C-alpha cells in the first residue's frame, strides 16, 4: 500500500478534494468550483490541475500515490461510463479513463456520490469496523448506500441503495419528485417531515409550540419533540414508524450489521435514532432485531473518505 490517496467528491456547485494517508487520516481538504459550462467539459481537467498543484506543493510523487477516487452525482456503469449526469451536464463520460489520461496514469476509480458516502462512513465513520452497512441520508430527499462485504452495491442500473424510492404508502395521492407516489422520501426527508407536521397541525385541536412556528422545519419539529410537545411527539412517531418499518424490510434483503443515519435531519441526534430504532425492533425479522443504529460522523466529508477507500480495494 502506498502512502497517499486523493478523494474527489464532485458536486453540482463545488468539487470537494481531500488528501489522505491510506491509513484513513485526512491531511488537507479544499474546494474548487464545478464549471458545468459547455457540458461540464473542463470539470475533470480543473480537478487534475488542482491535484497536480497540491502534489507539487507537498512534494508528493506519482510513486507515493495509491490512486484517486472520484464520486459524482449520477450512476456509474460497471464498464466505468457515466451515461448521464444531469447536475454536471455530462453524457457518456468515462471518468476513470479520462482522469487517468490527465493524471499521468495514476489509477482512478469512480462511483456514485451516495454510494461512496456509505463506503466512507463504513471506513472511518459511523459504521467503522463493519463490512455490512446501510447508510440512510435524510436530507432534502432520502438517499442511501448499501455496503456488502466491504463493497458498494451499485446495482445493475446504478439504483443500488435508492432507498428513498421504496414505496411505503400505496395510497399516497401526492407525487414524489421521481414521478411515482408514496416513496419513503415523501415522509422521511426534511421536506417530508415538514409536510407531516403541516398535515398534523391542520387537524390539531390541542395547543402545540409548533402552532406559532411560521418557519416549520424538521429541526423545529425535533426541537419541540425533545421538549415533549405532544403534537411533535406524534409527528416524530409517524416519521419514525415509517422509517423504522422500511429499514426492517431492508434488513430482510441486505441484513447489515449497522444502519448509519446521516444527512441534515440526523442532526436531531440520539433522540431520532432511538425513535426509529424502537419501531425497527418492533417490526424486524427475529434474527435482525439486534442490528445497531449509529449516527453518521463524517458529515459532508463522507464522500471524500469513501472515494479514497474506493481505490484501496
Q: Locate cell 426527508: which residue?
A: 189
Give the H/E segment covering residue 133: strand 133-138
CB of 271 to a copy of itself, least distance (A): 24
Query: What is the rounded CA–CA span in Å between residue 48 and residue 120?
Result: 22
CB of 75 to a copy of itself, least distance (A): 7
Half-sphere exposure of 232 (CA within 13 A, CB side): 22
Query: What is the rounded CA–CA span in Å between residue 97 and residue 27?
Result: 26
For residue 110, give the nearest of 126, 124, 122, 94 by alpha carbon: 94
Query: What is the rounded CA–CA span in Å between residue 60 and residue 54?
Result: 8
Query: What is the rounded CA–CA span in Å between residue 187 and residue 196?
Result: 7
Q: 88 or 242: whose CB is closer to a copy of itself?
A: 242
Q: Locate cell 476513470: which residue?
A: 96
Q: 230 or 292: whose CB is closer to a copy of itself?
A: 292
Give contact residues for a copy of itself (rule: CB under 8 A).
75, 130, 132, 146, 148-149, 151, 153-163, 165-167, 170, 178-180, 245, 248-257, 283, 285-288, 290-291
For residue 181, give the nearest of 162, 167, 161 by alpha carbon: 167
CB of 188 to a copy of itself, least distance (A): 13
| Secondary structure class of 131 (helix, strand, coil) | coil
CA-to-CA dists, residue 66 to 6, 17, 55, 106, 181, angstroms: 8, 16, 13, 8, 44
CB of 108 to a copy of itself, least distance (A): 20
CB of 146 to a copy of itself, least distance (A): 6
CB of 72 to a copy of itself, least distance (A): 16
Amino acid at each position: 500500500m502506498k502512502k497517499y490517496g486523493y478523494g474527489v467528491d464532485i458536486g453540482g456547485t463545488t468539487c470537494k478534494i481531500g488528501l489522505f494517508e491510506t491509513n484513513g487520516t485526512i491531511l488537507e481538504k479544499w474546494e474548487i468550483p464545478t464549471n458545468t459550462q459547455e457540458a461540464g467539459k473542463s470539470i475533470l481537467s480543473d480537478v487534475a490541475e488542482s491535484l497536480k498543484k497540491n502534489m507539487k506543493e507537498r512534494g508528493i510523487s506519482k510513486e507515493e500515490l495509491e490512486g484517486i477516487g472520484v464520486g459524482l452525482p449520477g450512476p456509474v456503469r460497471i464498464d466505468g461510463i457515466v451515461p448521464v449526469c444531469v447536475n454536471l451536464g455530462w453524457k457518456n463520460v468515462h471518468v476513470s479513463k479520462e482522469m487517468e489520461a490527465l493524471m499521468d496514469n495514476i489509477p482512478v476509480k469512480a462511483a456514485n456520490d451516495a454510494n461512496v458516502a456509505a463506503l466512507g462512513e463504513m471506513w472511518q465513520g459511523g459504521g467503522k469496523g463493519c463490512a455490512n452497512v446501510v447508510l440512510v441520508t435524510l436530507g432534502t430527499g432520502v438517499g442511501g448506500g448499501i455496503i456488502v462485504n466491504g463493497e458498494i452495491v451499485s446495482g445493475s442500473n446504478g439504483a443500488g441503495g435508492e432507498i428513498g424510492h421504496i414505496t411505503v404508502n400505496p395510497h399516497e395521492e401526492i407525487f414524489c419528485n421521481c414521478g411515482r407516489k408514496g416513496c419513503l422520501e415523501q415522509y422521511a426527508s426534511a421536506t417530508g417531515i415538514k409536510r407531516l407536521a403541516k398535515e398534523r397541525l391542520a387537524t390539531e385541536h390541542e395547543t402545540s409550540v409548533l402552532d406559532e412556528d411560521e418557519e416549520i422545519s424538521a429541526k423545529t419539529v425535533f426541537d419541540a419533540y425533545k421538549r415533549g410537545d405532544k403534537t411533535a411527539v406524534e409527528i416524530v412517531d409517524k416519521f419514525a414508524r415509517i422509517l423504522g418499518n422500511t429499514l426492517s424490510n431492508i434488513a430482510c434483503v441486505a441484513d447489515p450489521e449497522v444502519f448509519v443515519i446521516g444527512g441534515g435531519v440526523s442532526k436531531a441526534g440520539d433522540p431520532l435514532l432511538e425513535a426509529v430504532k424502537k419501531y425497527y425492533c418492533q417490526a424486524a425479522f427475529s434474527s435482525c432485531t439486534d442490528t445497531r443504529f449509529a449516527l453518521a460522523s463524517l458529515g459532508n466529508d463522507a464522500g471524500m473518505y469513501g472515494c479514497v477507500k474506493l481505490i484501496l480495494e
